[in-house]
Amino acid sequence: MQPNDVAQYLKAHPEFFEQYADLLADIFIPHPHGGHAISITERQILTLREKGRLLESKLAELLQFGEENDAIGEKVHRLGLALIDAAGRDQALERFAYNLTEDFAVPHVAVRIWGVDAGASERCEYLPVSDAMKELTVNLNEPYCGPHVAEEVQGWFGEAAGKLRSFAQVRLTAGDAAGLLVLASEDAQRFYPEMGTLYLKRIGELLSATLQRPQA
């Protein structure tokens, strides 16, 4: 008889343990962490305790994720209020960069937009962008997070470009207006490929909504 046969028999005949209750007390098996042998009942108790610890750990992890999401959600809310209250597009862009740097602790933020009337504004967000960069942005259906960006994008960060190790790129679009939001960090793990991008998308949508606003 094979061990699997024994296991299947016991599963199919739970009354066995009632008929031979004394036998359970006489069977001893190795302790899971070494040392002396213990009874089956003790082993079951240890198993339940281990499962309980695993469940507690998983619950603590879920609670931590929930708290972190609540904190990020509150920051996105404050960002939205700041953009709504801005007098015009230029002020919205200024507040956007300030909020991401101060509230989200993103060390480097770059934005380029096109298809809008910049008027007399000299803000860097209106500087020319190559056709290749525009095409890349059009194909950016989901936010990108990782270590690589185009050389042109690196140039948007000036002297800091050589120190940057991770990036998040988010497409901006609103009617005929379009653009690209890029967040960057010296920390290689700040923006990594497997990270969630829900809040990045929402932040991009908030900024996109300001693109067609008048200057002031």
Domain assignment present for residue 92? The answer is yes
Question: What is the number of H-type helices and E-type strands within the chain?
Answer: 8, 6
| Residue 190 three-state SS | coil
pTM of the model: 0.71
Q: Strand (E) positions, 148-194?
A: 166-174, 177-185
Same domain, 56 and 101: no
Number of domains making up the chain: 2
Say if strands 177-185 and 144-146 run parallel, antiparallel, or are unpaired.
unpaired
Same domain, 188 and 94: yes
Q: Residue 9 carries which side chain, given as an amino acid letter? A: Y
Q: Which residue has the higher pLDDT, 8 or 75?
A: 75
Same domain, 78 and 91: no
- Give percent above pLDDT 70 in the chain: 84
Q: Strand (E) positions, the chain?
A: 28-30, 37-39, 108-114, 144-146, 166-174, 177-185
Q: Are 98 and 83 in contact (CB under 8 A)?
A: no
Q: CA-based diameter of the chain, in Å? A: 92
Q: Which residue has the higher pLDDT, 56 or 104?
A: 104
Same domain, 78 and 176: no
Domain range spanning residue 74? 1-85
Same domain, 124 and 182: yes
**Each residue of 139-149: pLDDT tens digit?**
999 999 999 99
Same domain, 125 and 197: yes
Same domain, 98 and 43: no
Domain assignment present for residue 177? The answer is yes
Does pLDDT of 37 surpass 70? no
Same domain, 145 and 190: yes
**Distance (Å, whole) CA 175 – CA 139:** 16
Phi and psi of 171, rounded to 5°? -75, 140
What's the mean per-residue pLDDT of the chain? 86
Confidence of residue 6 (pLDDT cuts 50, 70, 90): low
